[in-house]
Amino acid sequence: MCLVCLGLIVFRTWWICARQDDSVSLPRDHDTIAFIAKIETSTARSTKYIQYLCFIPVVTNYIVGTLRGHNDLILARFEHESFAWGTGILLVSMGSKPIELLKATVAFHQKLIPKTPTPYPPGISDLSSEIYRGKLTYCTWNSLQPPTPTTATSMFKALKSFPLVPNNLLIDDGWQCETGRQMTAHDANSYWLDGHESLKQVITQAKHLGVERVGVWHTVLGYWGGVSRSETFKHHKFATLRKRWGAEYSIIHPDEVDSFFSTWYRHLSSSGVDFVKCDDMAEIEDMDWCTDDNGDVVPLRYVRTEYVNAIKRNVAKYLSGRIIWYILPTKSTVLTHV
């Protein structure tokens, strides 16, 4: 919290992010998507009037807005996620009850975001609306960054510091087993677990705190650098994505990617995972060609189609269709939340 005296007006701010200590200064190394300010006005007769302000940047397909503390100021930052023009918008509301104000502002914010058609054909279950329509979600990405350790322990400290428990918890990048930016196993790495036995134990503990649904992050290719030919995945066929300037990514061959995601999502579901955030969907579009282990060309269109369909089928099978698609911008794509 921070107290700032301006004449007879006192502002008290609640910052929606992880606080690992009792510091009262505005956090300089964390972003937040919302904060609430208490405005206390005194009159000549010593009468106090109290109202609350809620600030939320509007996130669209073109502009992503965040708030950050800087030298006792609060800065609204807008990042351009598209080659098309866009305008940053900051939503400000006022009310007498802070939690009700936050809920109402979030609900109004949702009305400003265009609805995106479901990516599933008729007959396939899609409960993805449960993770974003009228719900409060805590994502670990902006709060579990240096100097805060990216660990389950830090995540629990954040959850316990909040004045209310979020409906959804999204465990973002940093939890997966990986070496050299390649996915090496299905479960969480030991550093992120930080003494906990498994991802399942962490999720069980989070739900005991009152979280309704827990999701985990991954890229469309498994991890940023694809999948490692580790002991866990050695039975799969592999292929290699390449860029003209020399970058290479080992991936599960599209012929076997359905069984890859089936095994992985089944494990995540049995661990208590309720939804996934699939990141970097534009990565395949950014490649120049793909070859199998025999050197034969695998068409990029085939890779893209099989990966997307495998994810859709298995997220519908194991996670009731609950998924957030995230597309990093390239020459022909923009940021998309579904």
H or E element that contains 46 = none
DSSP state at residue 197:
S
Q: Domain 116-338: which topology? A: TIM Barrel (3.20.20)
Token pair of 181, please? 């930016």
Token pair of 49, please? 């009037």
pTM, two decimal places: 0.66
Which residues does the chain have with pLDDT short of 70? 1-31, 44, 46, 60-62, 71-72, 80-84, 113-134, 327-338
Residue 204 has a pLDDT of 97
Place of tokens 């009262």: 24
Residue 40 has a pLDDT of 84
20: exposed, middle or buried (C-beta count within 10 Å: 0-12, 13-18, 19+)? middle
Rounded Cα distance between 25 and 15, Å, is: 10
Place of tokens 């990986």: 178
For residue 73, which amino acid is it?
L
- Do residues 270 and 186 touch, judged by C-beta distance below 8 A? no
Q: What does 44-95 look like in DSSP terms, one character per residue?
A: TT--EEEEEEEEEEPP-SSEEEEEEEETTEEEEEEEE-SSS-----EEEEEE
DSSP state at residue 59:
P
Token pair of 222, please? 């498994």
| Residues 6 or more apart whose Cβ sits within 8 Å of residue 114 | 60, 61
Residue 4 has a pLDDT of 34
* CA-atom Rg of the chain in angstroms: 22
Q: Residue 66's beta-bridge partner residues?
A: 77
Q: Residue 69's beta-bridge partner residues?
A: 74
Residue 331 has a pLDDT of 33
Place of tokens 């909040």: 162
Q: Indicate the domain borders of the chain.
A: 1-114, 116-338
- Kindly report, residue by residue over 67-121, the tens digit of the pLDDT: 877 766 788 878 765 566 777 888 999 999 988 998 899 888 877 766 555 455 5
Rounded Cα distance between 65 and 80, Å, is: 9
Residue 241 has a pLDDT of 93
Rounded Cα distance between 208 and 31, Å, is: 27
For residue 309, which amino acid is it?
N
Q: What does 113-140 look like in DSSP terms, one character per residue?
A: SPPPPPSS-TTS---GGGGTSS--EEES
- Do residues 218 and 177 touch, judged by C-beta distance below 8 A? no
H or E element that contains 65 = strand 63-70
Token pair of 270, please? 């049995």
- Do residues 314 and 261 touch, judged by C-beta distance below 8 A? yes
DSSP state at residue 204:
H
Token pair of 46, please? 């010593």
| Per-residue exposure over 270-292, b if at least 16 CB sit within 10 Å of its own CB, e if not | ebbbbbbbbbbbbbbebbeebee
Rounded Cα distance between 105 and 120, Å, is: 30
